[in-house]
Chains A and B, each alone.
Chain A
């Protein structure tokens, strides 16, 4: 792509051209090589947006929280970008992206841009696409970017590492709360939300959470993750007030990062994940793709399955095929 075209795209993004932005994100998801060119070109213009990650089990109410958070930020005059991630069906490759149903009231507000992404299941693909989409929305001028993912698996943790502030949503009585707390999310959470906190076993969840927090190492700079209790949207007016409180906590956390100069650490954390993902998609994925193309991968899989050759042996063979220099 020539300089002139890249410049033109950059300008369109900065002007907030929805079609260009949404197509670029599509191309990133679809791994169109030109899209990476664009990211390389616009990257120096990123860094203005604050990124908030929201994660939690399916059904915890993440989309609803996001919807109300958008309103809360808009009341503050902040523009908002949302990236909502839903799973791809491993059987059909299709996906039903339903998160935006709960955010449709922001239509007509040009200060809000909402985009649904499917996990697609490709190695490193999802987090790479989300990272790049964050860059695009950042250049688009969105003050706050909210990323919403189902909080299971390593790739979601990777995505969350792109956020300045990570909000973990828990609900009472879903059975998997303690599991979630254990699953590595606990360590990266900056704020906990107990959603549907008017349910009878919310108090127990609160206590469990407090206990778990007490046992945890101190966060950098001495931040103590607060626990924000929300009711339900059965009372939308009260819920909106509670979400305002959550937004204030997020703001506090951001201010804390800046005051204590921890924000640089966060940026480095983000950079590290980005680099690892980039290596994955630039190095690992092409290797796997090429092995897949000529059937080599399939042959190897069969031999491993038949217990003839171990995976390690093949990995070494592949390393010798592709990597010219020994580390």
Chain B
């Protein structure tokens, strides 16, 4: 083991520290510090000062090392952002496919380098725009997609062989991915040339975001189907984005986000290995992750450093992957929506900038920065522009991308990274002992842990222990009016008309046949992807396909754990 500091230095440090502590004791006896206890936004206690003694047990090679080398604490790429800046990837989608396509072209013109799709709630839940359950929701929080016809409009003029597209879609991930694949085929782009991501992470839906459709087991089956299909035919596609973002938004601590996300990842790896007989090196390089960047600057940076390190260890030793690419944790980051406030909304620009900086110092591969108005509605064009510029300023003005992992070696940062790693392992082992993440979810364990953390934080805000500027401190009476983007009723009407028209002119027999084939595939436990593609090409609607899944696999409902 290669100790970080020589014994001599540590001895010196220890005697100096004692002297300093004596002085501090006298000083604070006269004038106490601002608080008795300091802690992160996750309520992780932070000491007054960190010194070499705090990291004396770290192993330089095994804990820190070099970028591009195991354990990747300092990043997965040898050249960090010097080689290539992270991808500016703004999550965007609104109204009809045409509305979103226009917004996408605007973002690409403004210098965005990747696309990211926000679907509306009916699409996310596997309902068509004409379902009674969709009333009032069509096109509201994202783009409404019912059939391939909509998808073709969505990607109109976008070269699918060049731009990568991320799709935040979970229970119906097979359907949206099939539509994307069908569009690529129409554009004449071979499947091994298209790149992008489907979120496709159902475990975090059961845990936190509650966008669910099928029970856990069949949900896992569909995910493993996509992993298998991607491995064989769409090798540049990330078939899953294992997400901590929503876990954090639901109120978890940073450590819970870290631990539950990685344990979810492990569950997917195990499922694909077991049910598809895949070797981890066949698919692990295409697993991607997605984290939240919250307002507590150092905690977030350390979380991301610890995440890379744990994942590398897990892939290398628990699953025996041999390809270093399987050890890489590549992740997207979004700044924390839950840190934004409706009060004094312009302050949100500042919060987002700080959070984005943390994500960059944590080594993210791509980044979405929230717009200042997202606590009210979908962002206006102007608000999106400020958010995108925030990233561009960090990347191209501030100089933080000049060197790799600039905070490494900080006593505090290295210590906190280690503490988070250890705390995450504790959770992971606990879940292992419960029989894995599916078993833990069934017991409501992660759900309850998050709910408790969320409630605790709320109480800390209520009693002023945690400050939220403009909410419980520095409150102003006068309102700051900001422009609001409203999705009007036109969208729902247009979309309903479109859907009706597609249903009228499609070949119903072909639709029925394709859906029957899909149903059979489900029942025979075949990979659903080829049949799903066939169904979308026959212009089956999203809901028609999802209804087949619901019929065969059953429906999952909110168990409402408390």
Report the bound CA distance from A191 to B555 in whole Å: 28
Give the distance in Å from the alpha carbon of A199 to the alpha carbon of B217 in the complex: 14
B510-562 CB contacts (< 8 Å) to partner A: 553-562
Contact, CB under 8 Å: A234 / B558: no
Q: Is B280 an interface residue (CB 8 A)?
A: no
Q: Count of A-B contacts with CB under 8 A? A: 35
Flag if A234 contacts B217 (CB, 8 Å).
yes
Residues of B within 8 A of A199 (CB): 435
Report the Cα distance A105→B560, complex, angstroms. Answer: 14
Stretch at the interface among A33-41, A94-102, A126-134, A254-262: A94-102
Assess the A235–B554 pair: CB atoms within 8 A: yes
Nearest B residue to A97, CB-CB: B562
Contact call B557/A234, Cβ cutoff below 8 A: no
Chain A's closest residue to B220 (CB) is A234
> Are B443 and A105 within 8 A (Cβ)?
no
Q: Which residues of A sit under 8 angstroms from B562, Cβ to Cβ?
A: 96, 98
Interface membership of A152, Cβ < 8 A: no
B235 at the interface (CB under 8 A from A): no
**In the bound complex, CA of A233 to CA of B553 (Å):** 11
Q: A45-69 vs B: 1/0 string, CB under 8 Å? A: 0000000000000010000100000
Determine if B195 is an interface residue (Cβ-Cβ < 8 Å). Answer: no
Binary CB contact string for chain A from 183 to 205 against chain B (1 if under 8 A, 0 otherwise)? 00000000000001001000000
**Closest chain B residue, CB of each to CB of A174:** B443
Task: Say how far B548's CB is from chain A's closest CB, in angstroms.
Answer: 14
Chain A residues within an 8 Å CB radius of B444: 59
The answer to whether residues A102 and B215 also contact, given A234-B442, A237-B554 and a CB cut-off of 8 A, is no
The CA-CA distance from A73 to B82 in the complex, in Å, is 67
The count of residues in chain B whose C-beta lies closer than 8 Å to any C-beta of chain A is 18
Are A236 and B216 CB-contacts (below 8 A) given A96-B562, A102-B560?
Answer: no
Interface residues of A in 85-126 (CB under 8 A from B): 96, 98, 101-102, 104-105
Shortest Cβ gap from B433 to chain A (Å): 11
* Chain B residues with CB under 8 A of A64: 559
Q: Mark B195-238, 1 if CB is under 8 A from A, else 0.
A: 00000000000000000000111000000000000000000000
Q: Which chain B residue shows the least CB distance to A237?
A: B554
Contact B216 A101 (CB under 8 A): no
Q: Please tell me which one of the listed residues A98, A102, A104, A236 contacts residue B554 in the complex, with CB atoms under 8 A apart.
A: A236
B554 CB to nearest chain A CB (Å):
3
Which residues of A are found within 8 Å of B442, using beta-carbon distances? Answer: 196, 232, 234
- Using Cβ atoms and an 8 Å threshold, which residues of chain B touch A98? 560-562
A234→B444 CA distance, assembly (Å):
14
Q: Decide if A105 touches B557 in the complex (CB within 8 Å).
A: yes
Tell me whether B558 and A101 are in contact (CB under 8 A).
yes
A101 touches B215 (CB 8 A): no
Q: Is the CB of A101 within 8 A of B560?
A: yes
Interfacial chain A residues near B435, Cβ < 8 Å: 199
How far is it, in angstroms, between the C-alpha of A237 and the C-alpha of B442 when the chains are bound?
A: 17
Interface residues of A (CB under 8 A from B): 59, 64, 96, 98, 101-102, 104-105, 196, 199, 232-237
Given contacts A104-B557, A199-B435, A234-B438, 10 further A-B contacts (CB under 8 A): A59-B444, A98-B562, A101-B560, A102-B557, A196-B442, A233-B556, A234-B215, A235-B215, A235-B217, A237-B553
Chain B residues in the interface with A (C-beta under 8 A): 215-217, 435, 438, 442-444, 553-562
* CB<8 Å pairs between A and B, sample of 28: A64-B559, A96-B562, A98-B560, A98-B561, A98-B562, A101-B558, A101-B559, A101-B560, A102-B557, A102-B559, A102-B560, A105-B557, A199-B435, A233-B556, A234-B215, A234-B216, A234-B217, A234-B438, A234-B442, A235-B215, A235-B217, A235-B554, A236-B215, A236-B554, A236-B555, A236-B556, A237-B553, A237-B554
Which 4 pairs between the two chains have the least Cβ-Cβ distance? A101-B560, A236-B554, A234-B217, A234-B215
